[in-house]
A = this chain, B = another copy of it.
Amino acid sequence: MRQASHRLTIATGGRGLTEVTDPVERWLAGQGVGEGLLTVFCRHTSASLIVQENADPDVQRDLEAFFARLAPESPGLYRHDAEGPDDMPAHIRAALTQTQLSIPVESGRMVLGTWQGLYLFEHRRRPQRREVALHLLGE
């Protein structure tokens, strides 16, 4: 049994989903591990992780619209507003989704379903550089 650790830097395009399935798969493929557990950890409190459908881009737009309604930018609604009107909604959206995902690995690949993609969910308005920690245990 062995392990490996890595950091991925992801440039987001502002609020919404950025697929990270491919860079994660590429790193995994280079580790030579057939069976194991891959953990992805988002090192931010205004971005998060999510597994979602990778087929119809409308799913991503509808998801973004849902979260924008649920945690609106609304002057006076939040005490924490010094970092901009999109910051507290971003923390709420991160709390409602995932900071971490662990995905079993079989035959050297993540066991994602046919329609599942792995996404970084940016919750700030502006593009950001985000850092995700990867950890792999297996053999």
Q: Are A51 and B99 in contact, CB atoms less than 8 angstroms apart?
A: yes
Instruction: Bin the interface of chain A by size.
Output: 35 or more
Q: How far is the CA of A92 from the CA of B37 in the complex (A)?
A: 26
Query: A21 contacts the other chain (Cβ, under 8 Å)?
Result: no
- How many chain copies does the complex carry? 3
Cβ contact of A56, chosen from B5, B82, B103, cutoff 8 A:
B82
A interface secondary structure, majority: mixed
Q: Are A106 and B51 in contact, CB atoms less than 8 angstroms apart?
A: no
Query: A63 contacts the other chain (Cβ, under 8 Å)?
Result: yes
Q: How far is the CA of A115 from the CA of B43 in the complex (A)?
A: 9
Q: Are B43 and A116 in contact, CB atoms less than 8 angstroms apart?
A: yes
Q: How far is the CA of A1 from the CA of B99 in the complex (A)?
A: 26
Q: Are A133 and B115 in contact, CB atoms less than 8 angstroms apart?
A: no
Known contacts A41-B102, A58-B78, A137-B137; 5 further A-B pairs (Cβ under 8 A)? A3-B35, A43-B111, A45-B51, A62-B78, A111-B133
Supply 11 A–B pairs (Cβ within 8 Å), ascending by A: A1-B3, A43-B116, A45-B113, A45-B115, A45-B116, A51-B94, A56-B82, A66-B71, A99-B101, A100-B102, A111-B133
